[in-house]
Structure formats: structure tokens, C-alpha cells
């Protein structure tokens, strides 16, 4: 029996994304080679800056696979940062605070997941309320900017500043000093999350049921899967990963503030969509999401390296990319619909 085509539109979308990343990065190298864009460290910096985003975007991919969405993640990250900063400022240890943040993520996700799964409220409304709730709670915890310094918590400070030197890819600068490439703890956490979620989606019952629910909720139910529970679990996982992302984010920003991570949900959603996750659910994987994050990171990096472009450009470009990919998805969906008829 012949199949219609081995290379279906979804794989095509992923390939476009990966190609887009390389084109973008090559473009950056050509335009800003003189400013050091070609160094391996530039790429590593993109990873370091976006470690939190990788984790958050993985969580969003999980929820979006079930045809849901979660726009509360940005606010949750802000709340996590504030909690960490304020908690440690008040003398609570780094480890207890991190555990607390993770538990809050679980609870937050459970509430949202219950409302979405069991009460069948639109995920957008639920998570929008979640977004405002978390953002507001951030202000309830503290309305000021709270910085985390070595005085606040030595352990946290050390983790944040730890450099993990890579044995390859260094370069000698113009003063003749060898610059060893390095990553930070956040990157390790993010890559671990990426790996675990990748394996989970591919090799566990839960992972496959996410795809089934997103592919067709009714069919999934008919085949005996617990749709409500799957959605609940997806939201718990998403908020949990957002909390891990929040910790990574905090390791970079080293502060808590109400205005932190605004628009972060947008970056995560667009990373996921650019990476080939369908808004209608059932299609996508975290490898694509990873490239989506890299594309977003590269855009920011290029805008920053340029130095003259307004700081709002990354936001606009991310939204524009999201727009383009949504339109492509909708066109593909229309073509598929037509083929069926």
C-alpha cells in the first residue's frame, strides 16, 4: 500500500523552522561577525539567556498538544522570582524556597487543570485569570524590586554565577587570552528538562495520550482514555515546568519585580508554534520547540548586537513570526480539509 507522502506537512513545518534558525544565525554571523557574533560563546549566550524559556516552552508544548493553551506562565515566572527573592531576603534557605516554588507550580497547575479538564471552561479564560492572579500575587508579595545578592543567599548566588567550562569551541581574543566557552547551571537544567520531556512524550503512556487527546478528544474518550485526567495532568506539568523555568529565569535576572517576564507567555507560545506545534493540538514535539526558542533568542541577540534597533523589535518580530506560522498552519489545515472532501 502506498502512502500519500512520507514527508507530511508537519515534518515540513519543522524543517522550515530548523532551516529558518540556521539562515537567521548565518545572517547574524555575516552582518555582525565583527562584533563577535561568530563566536561559539554567542550561541551559548543565547542558550544561557533563554534557559528559562526552554523549560517554560516545553510546558506549553505539552498543554498545546492537548489542544489547550496556558497564558499564565509568564506571570507565574514573575511570581516565582518574587517569591524566591523575598523568601531568601527574609532568611529562608535557597533549597526550601526552590522546593516551595515547585510545589506552588504543581498546585497552580492542578487548579487550572481542574477548571479546564473537569469543569470544561475554555483554557484561555482559565489561564488568563491565572495570569492576572499570579501577576497580582507578585505585587501582593512585594511591590518593590528585590535584588538577590551574595548577601541575600550565598548558595543561590553561587549557583547563579557558576560557570561550566566546555572543553571545546574556545577562541583567543585580540589580547591573546584564551576565552574558554562556558554555560551556566540554568542551561543544564533546561537541557535536562528538554531531554526528559522529549522521552516522556515519546515513550510513556501519558505522553502518547496527550497526542491522542489533541488528535481527537472524542476518539481518545472512545478508546478508553481518561481525557479529563490527561488535561489536568498536562496543566500540572505545564505549570511545574514554568516554575522550573522561573527558577532558571531568576538565576539570570537575580531579582524579583512585578514587571518581570511580561510577554514571556507570548515567547513560549510562539516558540512552540514556530517549532511546529499545532494550535489545534495533537502535533508537535519539544525538539521543534527548542529550535523555536533558539530562533526567538537569536532575534533578540541580533537586535541587541545591532545596538541601534529599538528594544521593542524582538517583541514585534516574535509576534510577526507567530502570525506567519499561524497563517501557514491555517493554510495547511485548509488544504488538508480540501483533500479529504
**To the nearest whole angstrom, how small is the minimum distance from the Cβ of residue 180 to other proteins?**
36
- 94 or 317: CB nearest other proteins: 317
What is the x/- site pattern for other proteins, positions 275-314, by CB under 8 A?
A: ----x--xx--------------------------xxxx-
Q: Please select the residue that binds other proteins; options are 170, 215, 227, 305, rule is CB under 8 A.
A: 215
* 266 lies in the binding site for other proteins (CB under 8 A): yes
In angstroms, the CA 168 to CA 293 distance is 24
- 164 or 199: CB nearest other proteins: 199
| Cβ atoms of 181 and 44 closer than 8 Å | yes
* 258 lies in the binding site for other proteins (CB under 8 A): yes
H or E element in which residue 282 lies: none
| Cβ atoms of 77 and 56 closer than 8 Å | yes
* 338 lies in the binding site for other proteins (CB under 8 A): no
| Cβ atoms of 93 and 219 closer than 8 Å | no
3-state secondary structure of 114: helix
What is the x/- site pattern for other proteins, positions 168-207, by CB under 8 A?
A: -------------------------------x---xxx--
Q: Which residue has the cell 485548509?
A: 334
* 85 lies in the binding site for other proteins (CB under 8 A): no
Residues 117-136 that bind other proteins (CB under 8 A): 118-122, 124-126, 128-133, 135-136
* 71 lies in the binding site for other proteins (CB under 8 A): yes
* 50 lies in the binding site for other proteins (CB under 8 A): no
| Cell digits of residue 232 | 489536568
33 CB burial (10 A radius; 0-12, 13-18, 19+) = exposed
Closest CA to 264 of 117, 134, 123: 134
Amino acid at each position: 500500500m502506498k502512502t500519500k507522502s512520507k514527508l507530511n506537512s508537519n515534518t515540513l513545518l519543522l524543517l522550515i523552522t530548523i532551516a529558518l534558525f540556521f539562515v537567521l544565525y548565518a545572517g547574524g554571523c555575516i552582518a555582525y561577525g565583527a562584533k563577535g557574533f561568530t563566536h561559539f560563546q554567542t550561541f551559548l549566550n543565547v542558550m544561557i539567556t533563554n534557559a528559562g524559556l526552554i523549560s517554560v516552552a516545553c510546558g506549553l508544548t505539552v498543554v498545546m498538544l492537548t489542544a489547550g493553551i496556558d497564558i499564565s506562565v509568564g506571570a507565574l515566572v514573575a511570581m516565582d522570582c518574587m517569591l524566591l527573592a523575598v523568601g531568601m531576603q527574609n532568611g529562608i534557605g535557597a533549597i526550601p524556597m526552590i522546593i516551595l516554588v515547585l510545589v506552588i507550580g504543581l498546585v497552580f497547575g492542578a487548579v487550572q487543570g481542574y477548571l479546564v479538564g473537569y469543569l470544561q471552561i475554555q483554557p484561555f479564560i482559565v489561564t488568563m485569570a491565572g495570569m492576572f492572579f499570579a501577576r497580582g500575587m507578585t505585587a501582593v508579595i512585594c511591590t518593590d524590586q528585590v535584588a538577590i545578592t551574595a548577601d541575600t543567599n550565598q548558595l543561590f548566588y553561587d549557583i547563579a554565577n557558576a560557570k561550566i567550562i566546555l572543553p571545546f569551541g574556545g577562541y583567543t581574543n585580540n589580547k591573546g587570552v584564551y576565552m574558554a566557552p562556558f554555560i551556566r547551571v540554568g542551561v543544564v537544567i533546561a537541557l535536562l528538562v528538554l531531554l526528559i520531556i522529549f522521552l516522556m512524550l515519546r515513550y510513556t503512556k501519558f505522553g502518547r495520550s496527550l497526542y491522542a487527546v489533541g488528535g481527537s478528544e472524542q476518539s481518545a474518550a472512545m478508546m478508553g482514555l481518561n481525557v479529563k485526567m490527561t488535561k489536568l495532568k498536562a496543566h500540572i506539568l505545564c505549570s511545574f515546568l514554568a516554575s522550573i523555568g522561573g527558577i532558571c529565569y531568576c538565576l539570570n535576572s537575580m531579582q524579583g519585580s512585578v514587571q518581570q517576564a511580561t510577554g514571556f507567555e507570548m515567547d513560549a507560545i510562539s516558540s512552540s508554534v514556530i517549532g511546529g506545534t499545532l494550535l489545534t493540538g495533537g502535533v508537535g514535539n519539544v525538539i521543534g520547540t527548542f529550535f523555536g526558542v533558539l530562533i526567538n533568542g537569536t532575534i533578540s541577540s541580533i537586535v541587541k548586537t545591532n545596538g541601534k534597533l529599538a528594544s521593542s523589535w524582538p517583541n514585534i518580530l516574535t509576534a510577526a513570526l507567530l502570525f506567519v506560522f499561524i497563517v501557514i498552519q491555517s493554510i495547511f489545515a485548509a488544504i488538508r480539509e480540501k483533500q479529504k472532501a
